[in-house]
Amino acid sequence: MTLHKLTLSKARDMLAEKSVSSVELTQALLDRIAAHDDTIKAFISVDQKAALDQAKKADADLAAGRAGELCGIPLALKDILCTEGLKTSCGSQILDTFIPTYDATVVSTLKDSGAVILGKTNLDEFAMGSSTENSSYQITVNPWDTNHVPGGSSGGSAAAVAAQFCCASLGTDTGGSIRQPASHCGVVGLKPTYGRVSRFGLVSYASSLDQIGPIARTVEDAAVLLNTISGNDPKDSTSA
């Protein structure tokens, strides 16, 4: 099977069976991004070196039998989630030089689970939009038909999943910003119940409505990703 076509669950099984390595899978997805994202423009930034370093560590953990829930799985993050040492722009030139000194809780949770972070995806500036045409960096297009929008504001995350640039991604939803682009791009998106997922490290649009949630190619994959990022967080007093 062509590696970029693997669902999260299938990739997890193959990694556990050692029929594919995380480095192989990560490199295949990085190659696909390099070949096609000039057209789709799903990513604002791709951190190739860090992704391959994380993949090498994941392979070592898998070999040692200390693999986490998502060990070796390459994911993408909406560029509104703080990532230590990696630019978090919120789709705005205002934050073009903002390099967070900490990870959002969902990001640190993914890293603890062994996930590989490929990069940060495009969005309407500060998540204010529903088409991903309003980023100050670029306009993301729908992978199924580049004459159409992918929806928004998590359009970069939905397009990245639909274009098979990653096994799954995280987006954020205030009034439809995961569900609408997931629908536009023919993938699965879920806005969790408020409090289910920590919002610490999410650059807020409307903090009483914002939620972080999964975008994936199957319901099973979305459930696996949601289960990983869910839970109480002392840093977020509204988390359950």
Q: What is the pLDDT of residue 1?
A: 62
Q: Which of 21, 41, 78, 113 is catalytic?
A: 78
> Is 78 an annotated catalytic residue?
yes
> Is 177 an annotated catalytic residue?
yes
> Any idea what the Cα angle at residue 206 is, between residues 204 and 190, rounded to 5°?
85
* CB neighbour class for 190 (10 Å; exposed up to 12, middle 13-18, buried from 19): buried
225 within 8 A of 216, measured Cβ to Cβ: yes
Q: Provide the pLDDT confidence category of residue 226 given band limits of 50, 70 and 90.
A: very high
Q: What is the pLDDT of residue 207?
A: 85
Mean pLDDT value across residues 34-52: 98
> Whole-prediction pTM value?
0.97
Tens digit of each residue's pLDDT (9 = 90 or more) over 155-179 = 999 999 999 999 999 999 999 999 9
Q: Which of 135, 177, 198, 239 is catalytic?
A: 177
Quote the crossing angle between the two packed helices 8-17 and 219-229, to the nearest 10°: 70
- Round the average pLDDT of the chain to a whole number and report it: 97
